[in-house]
């Protein structure tokens, strides 16, 4: 199986692609679409095919898709973009990629999404069949565009039979990713016991590999997260920072906000986090 990976040089992709190459089975090949050939060179040295081009350029995408059996779409514009860039990449370019993939004969399309699409809490862990709800402190162009991309992809699945699978990631960390320290930008204003659901890069990679390989799950959505959401106070401890005064007095309207269920991924994919908590990852030296 030849898998085309987009977003290979991003925070998730740069840590996932080496694992995908390491876990190849006989006959498996990995191709990456990168805008900068120099940044693609480390993947080439590990055995990946490298195509230089832009996800928003149709001819570049057609070239990258030639002969591909599957697509793993990790390309995304994150929270730093005020709007247009997020929509252009996260929705428009994603749906164009999926349509071109179907036309090129690819049989599987795996989409990286985020648990932020759930929006406000529901008084319980969020499940994959819950409809996204706009709102909440972390809502914005990133989750909104991701939610719309999911809808469009699942419409394509129903309309043309493209085997779409969606993986919604919790807050990704580990392997030197600065996300953990960056979380203090938000956590400093939270209640002390507000929790953040997380997933280590190794487990994000495990989840997407299972989405690529598991038969019979077209049209399904899966949450990937660890087993122990971490509190705002613990986020400060893990980053070597002092928790701000007054956190313990702050109200927390919904203690389940941001927490997701992984029952479907466990039951249907056999997903089990290698690092069931951020503390386990710390003890293993893989933060």
Instruction: Give residue-wise pLDDT tens across range 157-172.
Output: 999 999 999 999 999 9
Domain assignment of residue 126, given as a range = 2-172+200-226+261-274
**72 assigned to some structural domain:** yes
d(CA 83, CA 120): 20
**177 assigned to some structural domain:** no
Going from the C-alpha of 255 to that of each of 44, 203, 220, the distances in angstroms are: 45, 24, 27
**117 assigned to some structural domain:** yes
Which three-class secondary structure state does DSSP give residue 200?
strand
For the chain, give the mean pLDDT. 95
State how many domains the chain has.
1
**94 and 114 in contact (C-beta within 8 Å)?**
no
**254 assigned to some structural domain:** no
- The set of residues, in sequence order, having a beta carbon less than 8 Å from that of 182 and lying 6+ positions away, is none
Angle, in degrees to the nearest 10, between helices 94-104 and 141-160: 20
pLDDT at 83: 62
**181 assigned to some structural domain:** no
Task: Give, in degrees to the nearest 5, the angle at Cα 113 between 261 and 182.
Answer: 90
pLDDT at 113: 98
**113 assigned to some structural domain:** yes
CB atoms inside a 10 Å sphere around CB 77: 19
82 pLDDT exceeds 60?
no
Helix or strand run (H / E) with residue 166: strand 163-169
Q: In this structure, what CATH number is given to the domain that contains residue 111?
A: 3.40.50.720
Which three-class secondary structure state does DSSP give residue 272?
coil
Residues 213-247 pLDDT 10s: 999 999 999 999 999 999 999 999 999 999 999 99
Residues 41-80 pLDDT 10s: 999 999 999 999 999 999 999 999 999 999 999 999 886 5
**136 assigned to some structural domain:** yes
**166 assigned to some structural domain:** yes
pLDDT at 40: 96
The predicted model scores a pTM of 0.96
């Amino acid at each position: 199986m030849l898998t085309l990976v987009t977003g290979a040089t991003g925070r998730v992709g740069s840590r996932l692609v080496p694992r995908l190459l390491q876990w190849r089975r006989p006959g498996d090949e990995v191709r990456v679409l990168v805008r900068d050939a120099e940044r693609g060179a480390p993947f080439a040295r590990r055995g990946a095919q490298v195509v230089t081009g832009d996800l928003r350029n149709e001819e570049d995408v057609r070239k990258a898709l030639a002969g591909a059996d599957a697509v793993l779409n990790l390309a995304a514009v994150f929270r730093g973009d005020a709007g247009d860039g997020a929509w252009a990449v996260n929705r428009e370019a994603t749906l164009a990629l999926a349509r071109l993939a179907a036309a090129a004969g690819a049989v599987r399309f795996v989409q990286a999404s985020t648990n932020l699409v759930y929006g406000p809490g529901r008084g319980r862990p969020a499940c994959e069949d819950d409809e996204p709800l706009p709102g909440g402190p972390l809502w914005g162009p990133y989750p909104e565009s991701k939610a719309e991309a999911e809808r469009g992809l699942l419409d394509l699945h129903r309309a043309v039979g493209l085997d779409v699978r969606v993986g919604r990631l919790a807050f990704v960390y580990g392997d030197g990713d600065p996300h953990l320290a960056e979380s203090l930008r938000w956590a400093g204003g939270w209640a002390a016991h507000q929790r953040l659901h997380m997933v280590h890069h190794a487990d994000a990679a495990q989840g997407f590999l299972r989405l690529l390989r598991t038969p019979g799950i077209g049209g399904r959505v899966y949450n990937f997260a660890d087993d122990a959401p971490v509190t705002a106070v613990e986020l400060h401890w893990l980053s070597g920072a002092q928790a701000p005064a007054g956190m313990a007095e702050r109200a927390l309207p919904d203690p389940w906000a941001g927490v997701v269920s992984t029952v479907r991924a466990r039951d249907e994919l056999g997903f089990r986090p290698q690092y069931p908590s951020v503390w386990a990852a710390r003890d293993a030296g893989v933060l």
